[in-house]
Amino acid sequence: MANNDIQLMAHLMRRAGFGAPYEELEARAAKGYEATVEELLRADENLDWEEDLARRHMIGGHLGNAMPEIQGYWMQRMISTTRPLREKMTLFWHTILCSGDSKIDHPETMDTHIDMVRENALGRYPDLLVALSRDPGMIIYLDNRYSHKDSINENYGRELLELFSMGVGNYTEDDIKMAARAFTGWTLAPAMSSALPYQRHAFKFQYDPEDHDDGEKVFLGQRGRFNGDDIINIIARQPATA
């Protein structure tokens, strides 16, 4: 087998995953570059055994009370997965769609957040933004649970436009305010207490229509009684987002 084929496959596996041992590179090179790319993209099968393997050191399968367990669990998934592109894209989106345990301060909610990114990592970006907007970890991290129809918090609206989609210079301060108004009512259900070590179950998304600003808004030149889904649809159609 030509060394160039091995080198090309090694480059692909570094880019679309986390590298691969030489024996795997040989097998993939024999299969062919295009066939390997197709296999990496067909990463939607449900492989429950991967999660079982990654969680085997967790008592009762639970995450306990420390972030190192989540970090170790995710690292094990990256090492052992047969779906390296999905895990690589999960890590990529995690660096863009920033969140952190320093503020979320609840391991199970952080774990759920990463699972949400993983589920949407290879899909449509608007779908990922919708899931992100409803994710309890992000609602905590960017304070949307403190954004009310009579007193908006602009953190999520600002980051959605600045970091997660269009970038500075493509929107106005008024657009941020309109986005924040549209996402009012996107909050958290009360977290039930738990007998498990981390003291409460993971937070759940809850839409509160009584706390949603249903008034008319002007966002990126469009007028309507927009909600969060409408805002994301408008953002997704902007050239700056693409």
Ordered by start, the domain boundaries in the chain are 1-42, 47-236
Which of 67-76, 105-114, 129-138, 190-199 is least confident?
190-199
What was the pLDDT predicted at 44? 62
Note the pLDDT of residue 27.
94
Question: What is the reported pLDDT for 60?
Answer: 45
Helix (H, G, I), strand (E, B) or coil at 133: helix
**Is 0.95 topped by the overall pTM?**
no
* Largest distance between two CA atoms of the chain: 68
Query: Would you state the pLDDT for residue 65?
Result: 54
What does the pLDDT read at residue 214?
Answer: 97
- C-alpha distances in Å from residue 28, one per residue of 41, 78, 191: 14, 19, 47
DSSP assigned state of 202: P
Q: Which residues pair with 219 in a beta bridge?
A: 222
Summarize pLDDT for 146-199 with one digit per residue, the tens.
999 999 999 999 999 999 999 999 999 999 999 999 999 999 997 665 555 555
| Closest by Cα among 240, 233, 231 to 126 | 233
- Report the helix count and the strand count for the chain, using DSSP H and E: 13, 4
| pLDDT at 81 exceeding the cut of 90 | no
Residue 110 tokens read as 């952080």
**Separation of alpha carbons 55 and 122, rounded Å:** 23
Task: Please give the Cα distance from 135 to 155 (Å, whole number).
Answer: 15
Decide which of 57 and 21 is more confident: 21
Give pLDDT, residue 61. Answer: 45
Length of the chain: 242
Average the pLDDT over 18-27 and give the result: 94
Region 93-117: mean pLDDT is 87
> Is pLDDT larger for residue 140 or for residue 60?
140
Give which of 165, 185, 187, 189 is closest to 176, Cα–Cα: 165
